[in-house]
Amino acid sequence: MIRFDRVTKRYPGGHEALKEVSLEIAAGEMVFLTGHSGAGKSTLLKLIAAIERPTSGSVLVNQQNVGRMRRAAVPYLRRNIGLIFQDHKLLFDRNVMQNVLLPLQIAGFSRHDAAARARAALDKVGLLDREKTNPIALSGGEQQRVCIARAVVSRPALLLADEPTGNLDSEYASDIMIMFQAFNQAGTTVVISTHDHAAVLSGNCRIIRLDHGSIQS
Amino acid sequence: MMTWLMHHRRAILTTLAQMALSPVASLFTLFAIGVALSLPAGMYVLLDNATQIAGTLPAQNEMTVFMRDDASPDDVTKLKQQIKAMPDLADSRFVPRQTALQQLSAQMGMSELAAELPKNPLPDAWIVTPAATDANTVARLIKQLEQLPAVALVQADHKWAQRLDALLALGRELINILAIILGIALIAITGNTIRLQIITRHAEIEVSRLIGATDRFIRRPFLYFGAIQGLVGGAIAWGIVTLGIVLLSPQIDTLNKLYATQIQLHALGLTDSLILFAFASLLGWLGAYISVGRTLSRIENTH
């Protein structure tokens, strides 16, 4: 599903976030990206979602070269990727429900279908009773769950989570990791970056360790 | 198709919600646009009224040939033949003195005056139209007509009619210039409000981009905002002009009574109103389009 071929990303100013990284992630896999902060985890995820473009090398997602993708095609790529951010990026000018509805409105779902799907997504993260609340009134863990509901509401084939548990207590964090595992078991490919080794699920998940922009094996 | 309709519906609702969110600021902007548009619209209405009043006046290249007061019906017949024989005249029409008096009393509302006159003071007259309108021909014709027997006076209305026409044309040109300047002002006002809107909705735009919104989706509410703002501004301008006419009407009525005239001011007609609304929306949309393009690309480059 995802294939990096000797990808280098150099930011303006000369900092090299990724150096000749090659990797492959199959559909249906659940992968942890670990490494110290600044190791290039965020950059790797951003390259998959075409938020950043590689300086050299190629990034393929579903056989599409997203590094060379036309600007106009990028939105359609992103509709098939659920993005989860450490800072949640929720909108505080609307309630939880409206935040979760946003991807569906963008994709052009009818109001009826959209409402049903959004409720289902909120139910999955256990926040159905908070749909009318403004996200600013929620705890950090709850905000992260709203962010997850928004990411999965359009049932993407791929979930990318950048430090999803970075600001959370270990108890909340493990709840969220279990949630990701459930999505993975339903067939979604999941890539999670974390600097917290304790958060990595025990089990047979693959771990990709980044160090100063290179993969450690 | 459904999706498309839904997107547009949503964009309009978002726009109205945004306006309602800061009602005072929205009202100020709308009034600024309304006042800016009311100037050319108001001037246009005034000029339109003036043109209509001028339209009741004689056509510009006609000349009036007044006969001597003592001219006999024989003289009239003779003069008719002589006028017919002149090659430079395109048309001629006889106005007997009785008809002239009737027209005058009807036109100017001077029936009382006409009734009190012991004797019709108006002479028989001919209204002739020269074949050519250039000053030389007209001058030569006047000379020729004046030399005919039984002719007292030849009056060429064309001079002041031309002057009036030139004045109206000047007025029209002024309105055009004013409309262009204030149209640019409207674009600028809209552009600025849209820029502020985009800055306040920066987070929403960023998130929308990350979850797959196309540029069009992001742009659409702002374009609607510009167009709706322009449209409402146009409606306010229409209101200002109509109110102005309503306020002026009593004064015109007083003048009508004093001068015994029948002048009536009319407001913007249906077509003109629709044109005003269409232009206002179009300019608002244009201002938004320019501003959205510039501001969005700047936001993108900074983040």
The DSSP line for B184-226 is HHHHHHHHHHHHHHHHHTHHHHHHHHHTT--HHHHHHHHHHHH
Distance from CA of A202 to the nearest CA of B (A): 30
Q: What crossing angle do the helices spanning B2-21 and B23-55 adopt, rounded to 10°?
A: 100
Do B139 and B180 have their domain in common?
no
Which token pair is A153? Answer: 């509401």
Contact criterion met (CB below 8 Å) for B226 and B287: yes
How would you write B225-274 as a 3-class SS string? HHHHHHHHHHHHHHHHHHHHHHHHHHHHHHHHHHHCCCCCCCCCCHHHHH
Residue B92: partners with Cβ closer than 8 Å, 6 or more residues away? B83, B84, B126, B127, B128, B129
Do B243 and B290 have their domain in common?
yes
- Residue B110 to residue B123: CA distance in whole angstroms: 18
Do B235 and B263 have their domain in common?
yes
Do B135 and B214 have their domain in common?
no
- CA atoms lying within 13 Å on the CB side of residue A169: 6
Contact criterion met (CB below 8 Å) for A86 and A162: yes
- Range B131-147 burial, b when 16+ CB lie within 10 A, else e: eeeeeeebeebbeebee
A108 secondary structure, DSSP code: T
Contact criterion met (CB below 8 Å) for A34 and A200: yes
Do B292 and B193 have their domain in common?
yes
Which residues on chain A are in Cβ contact (under 8 Å) with B206? Answer: 89
pLDDT at A78 (0 to 100): 94
End-of-domain residue from the set B156, B191, B221: B156
**Could you tell me which chain B residue has the CA closest to the CA of A51?**
B210
A-to-B residue pairs, Cβ atoms closer than 8 angstroms = 46
* Cα end-to-end distance, chain A, whole Å: 21
Contact criterion met (CB below 8 Å) for B265 and B249: yes
Q: Which of B2, B206, B213 sits opposite A106 (nearest CB)?
A: B213
User: Is B300's Cβ below 8 Å from some Cβ in A?
Assistant: no
Which token pair is A76? Answer: 């359609």
Do B283 and B169 have their domain in common?
yes
User: Is B206's Cβ below 8 Å from some Cβ in A?
Assistant: yes
Residues β-bridged to residue A56:
A8
End-of-domain residue from the set B97, B121, B156: B156
Of A10, A108, A91, A104, the closest CA to residue A52 belongs to A10
Do B140 and B229 have their domain in common?
no
Do B47 and B102 have their domain in common?
no
Regions of chain B short of the pLDDT cut 70: 55-61, 107-114, 133-135, 157-159, 161, 301-303
User: Is B246's Cβ below 8 Å from some Cβ in A?
Assistant: no
What burial class does residue A183 get, using C-beta atoms within 10 Å of its C-beta: 0-12 exposed, 13-18 middle, 19+ buried? buried
Of B128, B126, B131, the closest CA to residue B87 belongs to B131
Of B133, B129, B154, B127, the closest CA to residue B143 belongs to B154
Of A188, A144, A162, the closest CA to residue A83 belongs to A162
Which token pair is B195? Answer: 């820029």
Question: ∠A72-A78-A82 over CA atoms, to 5°?
Answer: 170
Which residues on chain A are in Cβ contact (under 8 Å) with B10? Answer: 105
A108–B7 C-beta distance less than 8 A: yes
Do B70 and B145 have their domain in common?
yes
End-of-domain residue from the set B130, B156, B182: B156
User: Is B202's Cβ below 8 Å from some Cβ in A?
Assistant: no
Contact criterion met (CB below 8 Å) for A29 and A192: no
Name the domain count of chain B: 2
Distance from CA of B21 to the nearest CA of A (A): 11
Do B25 and B137 have their domain in common?
no
pLDDT at B302 (0 to 100): 54
Q: Which domain holds residue B281?
A: 2-56+162-302
**Could you tell me which chain A residue has the CA closest to the CA of B10?**
A105
Of B201, B191, B192, B189, the closest CA to residue B18 belongs to B201
Q: Which of B204, B206, B212 sits opposite A78 (nearest CB)?
A: B212
Which token pair is A32? Answer: 């942890």
A72–B208 C-beta distance less than 8 A: no
pLDDT in 10s for each residue of chain A, 217 residues: 999 999 999 999 889 999 999 999 999 999 999 988 888 999 999 999 999 999 999 999 999 999 899 989 999 999 999 999 988 899 998 999 999 999 999 998 888 999 999 999 999 999 999 999 999 999 988 999 999 999 999 999 999 999 988 777 888 888 888 899 999 999 999 999 988 776 676 667 889 999 998 998 6
Region of residue A135 (left: phi > 0; alpha: psi -120 to 50; beta: else): alpha
User: Is B210's Cβ below 8 Å from some Cβ in A?
Assistant: yes
3-class state of residue B22 by DSSP: coil
pLDDT at B109 (0 to 100): 64
Do B34 and B69 have their domain in common?
no
Which residues on chain B are in Cβ contact (under 8 Å) with A102? Answer: 207-208, 211
Contact criterion met (CB below 8 Å) for B276 and B235: no
- Residue A162 to residue A191: CA distance in whole angstroms: 8
Q: Which of B2, B206, B208 sits opposite A106 (nearest CB)?
A: B208
CATH number at residue B67: 3.30.70.3040
Do B134 and B166 have their domain in common?
no
Q: Per-domain residue ranges for chain A?
A: 85-155
